[in-house]
Amino acid sequence: MKMQQLKPVLWMSLITISMGGLFGCQQQEQPQAQTVVEQKQDTIPLIQAKRVAVEGARTLSCEKEGCTRFDLQTIQSNVAWIDDYFLERLKRAEPVAFKVQQTKATEDEVNSVEQRSMTVSLVGQRYDLATFVIKTYNFKTGAEHGLYHTEYVNLDLNKQKRIALEDILQKGSEQKLLDTLYDSNLVWLNARGINKEQLKLSDNFYFGANGLVLVYPLYELADYTMGMPELKISYTDLAKLIKPEYLTGLVATTP
């Protein structure tokens, strides 16, 4: 009788030990999984950048046709490939500033002087997505006004590449995005006589405080006095249009 009474007690003890061992293993594995996540996050650098003058670029270049004054400023960050990306962008945009000067003309000997500036700045970072802005300004002697352009550059820090609008969209959602863009900015567009057929998507964009912002060049949607128009789509309307990885945990920064 004593042995029979001990059997249930023995079985319960064994079950308790087994369950304790099981939970003990789970508790040991959880920190390991957390460590993997932390290690993955550690691979994404926190961008620290300051604006500096471009080395090797001339501030004045004079040819027979005229002189050009350059003001080229890029960023110096803690990520080498980002610095290289923007330096190459400036070199492609303003090759004359980096070219060996052949003609030794002076500013007093020419009738035309053009001012050209390009500056790169960090707008903000949201984990693996960093947004930068390139601001360009050109003014030529005798012109009514200067021309400027603002270009947003979104870099995927994981893939080490620039993100285009098509990269963040769900497959086949371009037309739906265009329709939503038109409906979301209907009052502004109607006031300027722009119908849906005239509106196109812009690849110049950034994630703003309240939604996706598409930026358009001077004169494309309005006259010079309106500057570069920005059309917005709220994050609520983007839920089925943008890939989840670009919306989840989004902490937007407004330039």
For 65-68, which contacts have Cβ atoms below 8 Å and span 24 or more sequence positions?
Answer: 65/110, 65/112, 66/110, 66/111, 66/112, 66/113, 66/114, 66/141, 67/105, 67/106, 67/107, 67/110, 67/112, 67/113, 67/114, 68/96, 68/97, 68/113, 68/114, 68/115, 68/116
Stated pTM of the model: 0.78
According to the 3-state scheme, what is the secondary structure of 133-167? EEEEEEEECCCCCCEEEEEEEEEECCCCEECCHHH
Digit-coded pLDDT (tens) for 156-198 = 999 999 999 999 999 999 999 999 999 999 999 999 999 999 9
- Return the closest-CA partner of residue 250 out of 151, 129, 131: 129
Q: Report the CATH number of the 38-163 domain.
A: 3.30.565.40
Q: What rounded mean pLDDT belongs to the chain? A: 82
Digit-coded pLDDT (tens) for 104-133 = 655 565 567 899 999 999 999 988 999 999
Would you say residue 152 has pLDDT above 90?
yes
Instruction: Please count the other Cβ atoms lying within 10 Å of the Cβ belonging to residue 21.
Output: 10
Distances (CA, A) of 28 to 23, 42, 52, 159: 9, 22, 49, 33
Q: Establish whether domains 38-163 and 164-255 are of one fold.
A: no
Q: Report the distance separating Cα 131 and Cα 119, nearest Å.
A: 14
Q: Which CATH number fits domain 164-255: 3.30.465.10, 3.90.640.20, 3.50.50.60, 2.40.30.10?
A: 3.90.640.20
Give me the pLDDT at residue 102, please: 58
Give me the pLDDT at residue 100, please: 78
Q: List the structure tokens of 107.
A: 């500013």
Residue type, 26: Q
Distances (CA, A) of 152 to 2, 147, 149, 248: 82, 17, 10, 21
Local structure of residue 242 (DSSP, 8 states): B
Lowest mean pLDDT among 7-11, 79-83, 142-146, 240-244: 7-11
Q: Report the distance separating Cα 182 and Cα 188, nearest Å.
A: 10
Give me the pLDDT at residue 215, please: 98
Digit-coded pLDDT (tens) for 236-253 = 999 899 998 888 655 444
Give me the pLDDT at residue 43, please: 78
Would you say residue 38 has pLDDT above 50?
no
Give me the pLDDT at residue 234, please: 95
Mean pLDDT of 217-228: 93
Lowest mean pLDDT among 73-82, 231-240, 245-254: 245-254
Would you say residue 217 has pLDDT above 60?
yes
Share of the chain above pLDDT 70, in %: 76
Would you say residue 76 has pLDDT above 90?
yes
Mean pLDDT of 62-88: 94
Write down the H helix ranges in 140-255: 165-168, 174-184, 186-191
Domain spans in the chain, listed from the N-terminal domain onward = 38-163, 164-255
Lowest mean pLDDT among 76-90, 214-228, 240-254: 240-254
